[in-house]
């Protein structure tokens, strides 16, 4: 980001001093990312990201530890598969 322009994913630039009348999703996404990055800088946050990316990161980090199956549970499972 230099000056008052944002670089879009497509490679185009969005001039913030001369905004178009209709915004695209790509334009809104670029603005959103920029806002959250600036907010992270102001808050001295090391993990800067949008709320959606933060939720994905949190949900992916929690792992469910399951207990190993007992022999009786395995036999029961095998019987239901055979039927």
Q: What is the mean pLDDT of residues 18-25?
A: 90
What is the pLDDT at residue 26?
A: 92
Predicted confidence band at 25 (pLDDT cuts at 50, 70, 90)? very high
Q: Collapsing DSSP states into helix, strand and coil, what is residue 15?
A: strand
Q: How far is CA 31 from the centre of its chain?
A: 15
The pLDDT tens digits for 33-62 are 888 888 777 776 555 466 666 666 666 555
Query: pTM value?
Result: 0.46
DSSP state of 9: T
DSSP letter (8 states) at residue 16: T
Interval 3-15: pLDDT, tens:
688 888 899 989 9
Higher pLDDT, 29 or 1: 29
Q: Where are the domains of the chain?
A: 5-82
Alpha-carbon dihedral sign for residues 1, 3, 40, 34: negative
């Amino acid at each position: 980001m230099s000056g008052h322009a944002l670089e879009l994913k497509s490679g185009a630039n969005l001039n913030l001093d001369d905004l178009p009348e209709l915004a695209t999703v790509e334009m809104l996404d670029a603005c959103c990312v920029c806002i959250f990055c600036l907010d992270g800088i102001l808050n001295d946050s090391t993990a800067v990201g949008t709320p959606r990316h933060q939720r994905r990161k949190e949900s992916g980090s929690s792992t469910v530890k399951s207990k190993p199956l007992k022999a009786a549970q395995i036999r029961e499972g095998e019987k239901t598969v055979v039927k």
